[in-house]
Amino acid sequence: MSLGYLVSLLYQYADSIAFLLLAALGLMIILGVVNVINLAHGELIMMGAYITTLTYHRAHLPLPLCMALSTIGVGLFGMLLERFVIRRFYDDKLGALVATWGVSLILSQGTLLVFGPSLESVPLAAWTFSYGRYSFGGYRLLLFVIAIAIVLIAWWVFYHTRLGVRTRATMQNADMARALGVNTRDIYLLTFGVGSALAGLTGALYAPTTTIVPLMGNQFVDVAFITVVVGGGANPIVGALTSAALLSLIATPLSSTLGTFSGRIGLLIAALVVIRFLPRGISGYFQDIRYRRMARGVS
């Protein structure tokens, strides 16, 4: 095995981690904090890609600005969704599932009606560099850096701000948080907005790399759900990071030798194995260990 091949594997590994993280993080944060499985997550990603593509082609704005508009626009849309739809279903998990599914159908069919079967893609920045006989896309590396930066920011907010303390307290015991003066409705509203904004950003970032069609969200949600199941909602950040790293470790060699389809099959099998042994995912398993230690009185 040549050094060039190793570097290329590493590159594919980073590419895969970035994809899983960006596809899953918004879904996972919403599941972990709000405890709702958002079946419209893929359509929120699609919405992000459409906003970027449309503002780029029709309003001729610079691409980074288009992407920022996607993030903000989908984030605001997510807040409206929470305020007027999701909020009614907090005591009814099945209802929330059906409601978000309904929203996803309305969004994808509505997009088809309004914008037709496809849009012309945004051109991909042609930054490439090579090592030996292998060449790499600079944009893919940028995606990896952005994904890691988002995880770091999320971690900082979660563990080093008052908002983070209140959010974690709400996850652990929402009634007690309320009784101490935390408006948990605002926490849920904000979390849903942030999770949606992350979906919008993901759609925007991948818009130059894929075809822009109303059902494009599907390619993201498959892997997003696998990543969420393996990571578990007990701790969205630890869960997303460990799960993306582990799944990519399995999928990268498979995709690079046997093709993308085998990579996806590998992901599914890995997910089945993990939930067979860790039903609450990796972060749920860590949480169980912590609680067992607490019960024994050691930290």
Partner 1 sequence: MSGALLHVQNLVAGYGTADILQGVTLEIWPGEMVATVGRNGVGKSTLMKTIIGLLSTRRGSISLKGESITHLRADQRAALGIGYIPQGREIFPELSVEENLMMGETINCAKQSFRYDLVYEYFPILRERRRQVAGTFSGGQQQMLAIGRALVGRPTLLLLDEPSLGIQPSIIQEIGQALLRLNREEELTILLVEQNMRLIEHVAVRAYAMDKGRIVANLTLEMLKDRETLADYLAV
Find the binder of partner 1 among 62, 80, 259, 290 (CB under 8 A). Answer: 290
Is 17 within 8 Å of 245 (Cβ atoms)?
yes
Q: Which residue, among 36, 17, 72, has the nearest Cα to 198 in the 3D structure?
A: 72
Question: Among residues 123, 131, 125, 156, which one has the least CA distance to residue 143?
Answer: 125
**275 contributes a contact to partner 1 by CB under 8 A:** no
Return all residues near 58 (Cβ < 8 A) that are at least 6 apart. Answer: none
Kindly tell me which of 126 and 298 has the beta carbon lying closer to partner 1: 298
Task: Write out the H or E segment, with its range, that includes residue 137.
Answer: strand 134-137
Give the x/- contact pattern for partner 1 in 118-157, rule: CB under 8 A. ----------------------------------------
The nearer residue to partner 1, 22 or 177, going by C-beta atoms, is: 177
User: Which CB, 176 or 269, lies closer to partner 1?
Assistant: 176
Instruction: Write the single-letter amino acid at 114.
Output: V
Torsions phi, psi of 136, nearest 5? -125, 150
Q: Which of 1, 84, 277, 297 binds partner 1 (CB under 8 A)?
A: 297
Would you say the C-alpha torsion 16, 205, 38, 111 has a positive or negative sign? negative
Write out the binding residues for partner 1, residues 156-185 only, by CB under 8 A.
Answer: 162, 165-166, 168-169, 172-173, 175-184
Listed residue (163, 216, 200) closest to 27, CA to CA = 200
Q: Which of residues 56-115 bind partner 1 (CB under 8 A)?
A: none
CA distance 248 to 257: 14
Helix H or strand E encompassing 238 = helix 236-258
Q: How many residues bind partner 1 (CB under 8 A)?
A: 25
Closest CB 147 distance from partner 1, rounded Å = 26
> What angle separates helix 138-160 from helix 162-172, to the nearest 10 degrees?
80
User: With CB under 8 A as the contact rule, which of the stretches 20-28, 244-252, 266-274, 287-295 interacts with partner 1?
Assistant: 287-295
Q: How far is the CB of 183 from partner 1 (least distance, A)?
A: 5
Nearest to partner 1 of 264, 280 (CB atom)? 280
* Closer residue to partner 1 (CB): 178 or 264: 178
User: Residue 227's closest CA among 45, 19, 75?
Assistant: 19
| CA end-to-end distance (rounded Å), the chain | 45
Q: Is residue 299 at the binding interface for partner 1, with CB under 8 A as the rule?
A: yes
SS3 assignment, position 169: helix
Among residues 231 and 266, whose Cβ is nearest to partner 1?
231
Report in angstroms how near the CB of residue 79 gets to partner 1 at its nearest.
Answer: 19
Smallest distance, Å, CB 289 to partner 1? 12
Which residues of this protein are in contact with partner 1, per CB under 8 A? 162, 165-166, 168-169, 172-173, 175-184, 287, 290-291, 293-294, 297-299
